[in-house]
Structure 1
């Protein structure tokens, strides 16, 4: 018996049109030199110290949240809600 696709996979398979947000983010991925940007910032980004403590979020995740947050003028709570609400973000 063939396995039935899950709802998110089915939704993606049935999707025909790319949204403006998805198109924008695809263009962003093509234009922003992520590797060079990460290499430039990484030496200054906090790391886990000898005393331990809570590890910081990965740098790439923070940048990928920070840029759209600034472009769309989102507050921290709104940026977090948008990330949970939108797969494109």
Structure 2
């Protein structure tokens, strides 16, 4: 009888340890996803800035090699960067 009680207690402890491990891994995964989302946002922003500077220096450039949805997204980011740049210029003039 004591063996069964000990086995049950050891299984309960094992299950508890597994649950704690799952909670820790879920927390780590959430943090990793958040970090990767921030990285993605940073890379997209850098890409848009590079494209904006390139387009500003060479407006006749052809970006036909990009997929239409990617081109539209980058153009949208470029437009927001242009608006940001224009707003900064207006503030500097004040």
Query: Which structure features the higher share of helix residues?
Result: 2
TM-score, normalized by the shorter chain, greater than 0.5: no
Q: TM-score range by the shorter chain?
A: under 0.3
TM-score, structure 2 as length reference: 0.24
Q: Give the greater-gyration-radius structure (CA).
A: 2
